Amino acid sequence: MSFREEHELHKRRFGRNVGVAMVLLSFIFIVFGLTVVKVTRGDYEPENASIQRGH
């Protein structure tokens, strides 16, 4: 049993899907990286945290 050769449309669609996947993954990594940096720098403290420490 032999498989038919893949049509050119499927090859182009696969390439486009890979491109979209790479863009989405890069966006996820950028957002995750920014979140990690923001949390480790301490920028993510609530406004009233400094007031509670003062007591």
Is residue 6 included in any domain, yes or no? Answer: no
Residue 5: its pLDDT value, please? 82
Is residue 32 included in any domain, yes or no? Answer: yes
Tokens encoding 10: 């499927």
**Cα 10 from Cα 17, distance rounded (Å):** 10
State how many domains the chain has: 1
Contact 44, 38 (CB under 8 A): yes
6 pLDDT tier (thresholds 50, 70, 90): confident
Tokens encoding 8: 């050119």
Domain that holds residue 34: 14-40
Is residue 23 included in any domain, yes or no? Answer: yes
pLDDT greater than 60 at residue 21: yes
